[in-house]
Amino acid sequence: MLNLKKLYFIALVLNVGCLAACSADGSKSGDGTQPVTSPPTAPEKSKEPVTLVFYSPNGPSETDEAFMEQIGNPIQKKFPYITVKFVHPPDTNPEGQLDAMMAAGESIDIFLNADLNHYRLITPYKFEYDISDMIKKSNFDLSRLDDSSVQAVRALSKGGLYALPYRMNVQALLYNKDVFDKFGVPYPKDGMTWDDVYELAKQMTRMDGDKQYRGFVTQTYNYAWMNQLSAGFVDPKSDKALYNSDERWTRIVRNLSRFYEIPGNALKENSFSAVSNVFYKDKLAAMYAYFMPTISQEVNWDVVTYPEYGDRRGIGPQANLTLAYITSMSKHKDAAFDAIAYMTSDEFQMNQAKKALSFPVTKTQAVKDAFGQDADFLKGKNMRAVAKSKPAPTFEGSPYSRTAAVELEKIMYQLGKGQGDVNTAIRTITELADKSIDTVKAGKK
């Protein structure tokens, strides 16, 4: 009898255990009326509430409302212990605001910054902080991010990792469908070379009545900064401009200048906005090599892959990245890492991609395919074009790259108007860049 009682007791315990396990998902117990609850467990220790200060240098173009909708609110929803505070300059002078903030002892936890502004806004304030150990500690998988974007960050980080990329802007070849229809010329296609586009630009540059139509325009600064040959502006060891010593620059300059030598396609503009208006507002440019628009435009446009060099097929421009830095001054680095790691997640990137806020930095194909899905103004556009080319490797940067790039842009405006020749332009750019670099260096002493 004793053995039978023991067996009965064991069976009863096993039966109750089975009911508890089977009811862990909230299903009813054996009598169909009361839920069976599991034994209480010790709750996970909650993290202490923190406020993270995010800084963006984009000025009045980035509103508090837009930032919170796109970045702040998703982070606060994912991490209830985090409160997001957003700071940005009231004008186009972030240095002035940063100087004032540093003088007042104000802190920044996460700095959102374009990679090309690293030496302008990160290095001078000693914001660099290597997150490599945090990557290892958290088992963060860098391999799921676009290889070129990680390589670009490493190029700025002296072998470490100062930030995580969370936005990527990719250049493409936009074209005005109405202009091509007007002249009965077939639309551009994916995979065109620079030579193909040049021949098409000659065909599309023509006078019609009192209107001069231009076959091709672009932004010199972006064309050069994200060049497909990965040519750097300045030798980081000697601090000398590379225009005259690196033959790739002659090829880069000559490739663009020939478009402006087409009769009727000479550059008339002196600013970024003026060049943009030729395509978007005046509707006189047949093709425009630039980033994808992020808002609805009046022009009837579509897009194909960015022109490629014939000997570098499949290689597009270097990616233009926005990076999330954890600053050296942050007192909440663990929380900051939670936030920036989430900004690279498929969940966050999918939301950004669907709204066409940026092209994904993740390799996940489903996220890439979702680009522009919820953006009505992109319906029917050839969105797959932006992912067909592989970004060119990033060149080794220098604190004086921007100084040298500005001098290149100035001379390219002149060259585009027929003022001088390529060889003279290269020598002039080199001399001006070296002189400007020396001036900047002297000012830092």
Does residue 15 sit within a domain? no
Q: What is the pLDDT of residue 36?
A: 35
Residue 361 in tokens = 């930095």
Strand-pairing partners, residue 122, are none
With contact defined as beta carbons under 8 Å apart, do 84 and 52 qualify? yes
Total of domains in the chain: 2
Let me know whether 185 and 299 are in one domain: yes
Q: What is the rounded distance in angstroms from the CA atom of residue 294 to the CA atom of residue 205? A: 27
Let me know whether 244 and 360 are in one domain: no
Q: What is the rounded distance in angstroms from the CA atom of residue 416 to the CA atom of residue 411? A: 8
Question: How many helices, marked H, and strands, marked E, lie in the chain?
Answer: 16, 13
With contact defined as beta carbons under 8 Å apart, do 398 and 380 qualify? no
Q: What is the pLDDT of residue 159?
A: 83
> Which one has a higher pLDDT value, 432 or 25?
432
Question: For a pLDDT cut of 90, what percent of the chain falls above it?
Answer: 76
Domain residues for the domain of 425 are: 171-318+400-444
> How many C-beta neighbours within 10 Å does residue 436 have?
16
Let me know whether 327 and 312 are in one domain: no
- Mean pLDDT for the chain overall: 88
Condensed to tens digits (0 to 9), the pLDDT of residues 178-225 reads 999 999 999 999 999 999 999 999 999 999 999 999 999 999 999 999
Does residue 309 sit within a domain? yes
Average pLDDT estimate for 84-113: 95
End-to-end CA distance of the chain: 97
Average pLDDT estimate for 357-379: 91
Q: What is the pLDDT of residue 61?
A: 76
Label residue 389 exposed, middle or buried (CB < 10 Å: 0-12, 13-18, 19+). buried
pLDDT reading at 49 higher than 50: yes
* DSSP symbol at 434: H
Q: What is the rounded distance in angstroms from the CA atom of residue 333 to the CA atom of residue 290? A: 36
> How many C-beta neighbours within 10 Å does residue 230 have?
17
Reported confidence tier of residue 4, pLDDT bands at 50, 70, 90: very low
User: Which of these ranges, 40-49, 90-99, 158-167, 410-419, has the smallest mean pLDDT?
Assistant: 40-49
Label residue 176 exposed, middle or buried (CB < 10 Å: 0-12, 13-18, 19+). buried
Reported confidence tier of residue 127, pLDDT bands at 50, 70, 90: very high
Q: What is the pLDDT of residue 25?
A: 36
Let me know whether 125 and 214 are in one domain: no
pLDDT reading at 60 higher than 90: no
Reported confidence tier of residue 12, pLDDT bands at 50, 70, 90: very low
pLDDT reading at 34 higher than 60: no
Does residue 289 sit within a domain? yes
Let me know whether 62 and 127 are in one domain: yes
Does residue 406 sit within a domain? yes
Within 13 A of 425's CA, how many CA atoms are on the CB side?
24
> Which one has a higher pLDDT value, 28 or 90?
90
Length of the chain: 445
Let me know whether 239 and 296 are in one domain: yes
Q: What is the pLDDT of residue 167?
A: 95
CATH number for the domain including 336?
3.40.190.10
Single out the residue in 363, 386, 409 at which a domain terminates. 386
Query: How is the beta sheet containing 301-304 ordered, strand by strand?
Result: 217-218, 287-291, 171-176, 301-304
Does residue 28 sit within a domain? no
Does residue 37 sit within a domain? no
pLDDT reading at 96 higher than 90: yes
User: Which of these ranges, 179-188, 245-254, 302-311, 353-362, has the smallest mean pLDDT?
Assistant: 353-362
Q: Where are the beta strands (DSSP E) in 143-298?
A: 163-169, 171-176, 206-208, 211-213, 217-218, 287-291
Q: What is the pLDDT of residue 41?
A: 34
Let me know whether 190 and 152 are in one domain: no
Q: What angle do CA 272, 274, 280 make, to 5 degrees?
A: 100
Query: Phi/psi at 441 (nearest 5 deg)?
Result: -65, -40
Average pLDDT estimate for 72-97: 95
Pairing label, strands 206-208, 301-304? unpaired
User: Which of these ranges, 45-54, 175-184, 418-427, has the smallest mean pLDDT?
Assistant: 45-54
Q: What is the pLDDT of residue 443?
A: 82
Residue type present at position 43: P
Q: Which residue in 377, 181, 180 sits closest to 298, CA to CA?
A: 377
Let me know whether 195 and 268 are in one domain: yes
Let me know whether 196 and 277 are in one domain: yes
Let me know whether 358 and 405 are in one domain: no
Reported confidence tier of residue 445, pLDDT bands at 50, 70, 90: low
Average pLDDT estimate for 255-283: 95
pLDDT reading at 30 higher than 70: no
Residue type present at position 344: T
> How many C-beta neighbours within 10 Å does residue 312 have?
15
Condensed to tens digits (0 to 9), the pLDDT of residues 372-385 reads 899 999 999 998 88
Average pLDDT estimate for 119-129: 95
Strand-pairing partners, residue 212, are 207
Does residue 175 sit within a domain? yes
Q: What is the rounded distance in angstroms from the CA atom of residue 80 to the CA atom of residue 95? A: 32
Average pLDDT estimate for 291-303: 91
Q: What is the pLDDT of residue 92?
A: 84
Does residue 18 sit within a domain? no
Let me know whether 157 and 184 are in one domain: no
